[in-house]
Amino acid sequence: MGESLINSGWILPVLLVMVGLLVGTYGTLIGVGGALVLVPLLLVLYPQATPQAITAVSLLIVLVNSIGGSIAYARQKRIDYRTGIIFALGTVPGVLLGIWTLNYVSRNLFALIFGLVMIVISAFLVVRSEPSRTAGLVNGNYDCNRPLGFTLSLGAGYLAGLLGIGGGIIHVPVMVYIMCFPTHIATATSHFILIFTGATGTLTHLSQGSFGSNWLVIVWLAVGVVAGSQLGARLSKRIHGKVIIRLLAVALAITGLRLVLG
């Protein structure tokens, strides 16, 4: 279904590894899977690739990145598994609906609207500082509105399936500002949720044949992503939560501008 991404012979494997390293590090650090960086880069490197091919590759790399990052975060004991599983259950049907929409509906107007929304969220994150109040711990879990999080996860999954950018752009702000999670717990838990998001999207695109002959590109990207995910998890222990939120805001602004400007 998707046009092959391997259509520019000058793209060297070392460049793809470097892109993967950047995606893995940045994505793990801010808890969004790295697709906010990867999708715009793929659009630039492969201007003839179909949206299906771009999103298929992106969601598979999100899966690789989220597995690597979640392993590192699990060792640091920073993942709220109960919340993560509940939110993931909401994400899965959203991903399926997003991929279905991608096949049948024009994305131009939606891309414009979504880009503007991301820019607004980015501005909000820059203006508003990290909350000092955190939800109370109950048996190792945060006392928060999980039904609301489940509902919002449907939207996060829909955007992930439609744009191939993962659902962390919704999960991290929701957990930090609405549910009062500490930022470092929110980013780690968001990364855990992305395992389910990426797996659902990857299996769906695989069944539709969206990957084409893009496996060599994926392999080289994955090499860099695996290393970057470990580096991002290590850096996250040394960077204050406010800085992580600012990094998320930058990623949202860049991606939002790319969508608005086309």
List the domain range (segments joined by +) for residue 19.
13-261
Going by C-alpha positions, the residue among 104, 103, 97, 87 that lies closest to residue 159 is 97
In tens, the pLDDT along 173-203 reads: 788 777 777 878 888 898 899 999 999 999 9
Mean pLDDT within 209-225: 82
Domain presence at residue 3:
no
Domain presence at residue 250:
yes
Give the separation between CA 66 and CA 188, rounded to whole angstroms: 9
pTM here? 0.77
In tens, the pLDDT along 126-167 reads: 776 555 544 444 444 555 677 888 888 898 898 888 888 777
**Predicted pLDDT at 93:** 94
**Predicted pLDDT at 91:** 93
Mean pLDDT within 34-45: 75
**Beta carbons of 66 and 192 less than 8 angstroms apart:** yes
**Predicted pLDDT at 134:** 47
**Predicted pLDDT at 142:** 57
**Average pLDDT for the chain:** 78
Q: What total of structural domains would you count in the chain? A: 1
Domain presence at residue 115:
yes
Going by C-alpha positions, the residue among 158, 155, 159, 165 that lies closest to residue 57 is 165
Token pair listed for 43: 């659009």
* Cβ-defined contacts of 177-180 (< 8 Å, 24+): 177/128, 177/131, 178/145, 178/148, 179/135, 179/142, 179/144, 179/145, 179/148, 179/149, 180/131, 180/133, 180/134, 180/135, 180/142, 180/144
**Beta carbons of 21 and 62 less than 8 angstroms apart:** no
Other beta carbons less than 10 A from residue 243's beta carbon: 15
Percent of the chain with pLDDT over 70: 83
**Directed axis angle between helix 13-30 and helix 215-236, to 10°?**
40
Domain presence at residue 7:
no
Neighbouring-strand partners of residue 137: 142
Domain presence at residue 2:
no
Residue 80, CA distances (Å) to 71, 141, 173, 188, 197 in order: 13, 6, 16, 8, 17
In tens, the pLDDT along 74-133 reads: 988 889 898 889 999 999 999 999 998 877 766 566 667 778 877 887 887 777 655 554
Domain presence at residue 5:
no
Neighbouring-strand partners of residue 95: none
Domain presence at residue 55:
yes
Listed in sequence order, the DSSP H helices in the chain are 13-30, 35-45, 51-75, 81-104, 108-127, 146-163, 168-173, 183-208, 215-236, 241-261
**Predicted pLDDT at 131:** 54
Domain presence at residue 81:
yes
